[in-house]
Amino acid sequence: MNRRLFAACFGVVAALWSAGAGAEAPCRASRDLLNLNNPLEIARTAVAEERQLRIVAMGSSSTQGYGASNPKYSYPAQLQIKLEAAMPGIDVHVYNKGVGGQDAEEMVQRMKQDVKPEQAHLVVWQVGTNSAIRRDPLPKFAEKLRAGIDIGRALGANFVMMNLQYVPAVVALPDEEEYARVMAEVAKQKGAGLFRRFEIMRSWYNDGMPYAQFVTNDGLHLNDFGQKCIGKLLAMSILDAVNPRRLTGAPKSAH
């Protein structure tokens, strides 16, 4: 897509985004969208036997917390808050390894150095948005995803990919769903989990939630509501996999 056509498409979507937001909608997602399709056995064992859970949040600006008015509203910070509340007695650490502007290739290059020191039980890799915007060829994108998963798993961690954001800057692209499709295929091939952020956020929009409810006015980054909600829903997905009710007697869902 050339720059002029992209700008025109983005302008249309941005106009839809700017339609007034009403009262804050509830944070929600259907149960099937929260299924990681991975048992997170390493994380589950860590909770049951070590009474701890160490998570590395790899990613770009949305992991770093860009768009949130306070660092505690970033989804990694919210993830830790929700997991601690749901699993009393479990020592939870979520290490934020977000670096703004990076794509899949750049994150693969630092995967080992950022994951290994934390001895992570689980790596959540937020990736795909920048690769799609930069028009990375899909075969190269898939190759980098496989390489990143291999590195993380070689370090003894469960692996969950978080896919693209459903935001105006991404929806304006001609093939954003192809990047989401490739991520799902690679996750299945490599036995990794998948947190379907793209589908979850699309469900918000399709259910009538305006972009202004969950996206900043740059049309790309999550605002406080978006960051906090993604953190809460990710916590629910992880809790469902590690099953803290059976392991610790704690509630199974974050509220």
Q: Convert the pLDDT of each residue in 82-109 to its tens digit.
A: 999 999 999 999 999 999 999 999 999 9
Q: Is pLDDT at 168 greater than 50 in this prediction?
A: yes
Helix (H/G/I), strand (E/B), else coil: 71: helix
Report the alpha-carbon distance of residue 116 to residue 110 in Å, rounded: 10
What's the mean pLDDT in 213-236?
97
Q: Please name which of 117, 130, 4 lies closest in space to residue 59, comparing C-alpha atoms.
A: 130
- Structure confidence at residue 254 (pLDDT): 40
Cβ proximity of 18 and 93 under 8 Å: no
3-class state of residue 238 by DSSP: helix
pLDDT digits (tens, 9 = 90+) for 18-52: 434 445 678 999 999 999 999 999 999 999 999 99
Range in 10-19, 121-130, 134-143 with the lowest mean pLDDT: 10-19
DSSP state string for 75-108: HHHHHHHHHHHHSTT-EEEEEEEE-TT--HHHHH
pTM of the model: 0.86
Q: Is the pLDDT confidence value at 57 over 70?
A: yes
11-25, 39-53, 206-220: which has the minimum mean pLDDT?
Answer: 11-25
Q: What structural domains and CATH numbers belong to the chain?
A: 3-14+39-241 (3.40.50.1110)
Return d(Cα 148, Cα 40) in angstroms, integer.
17
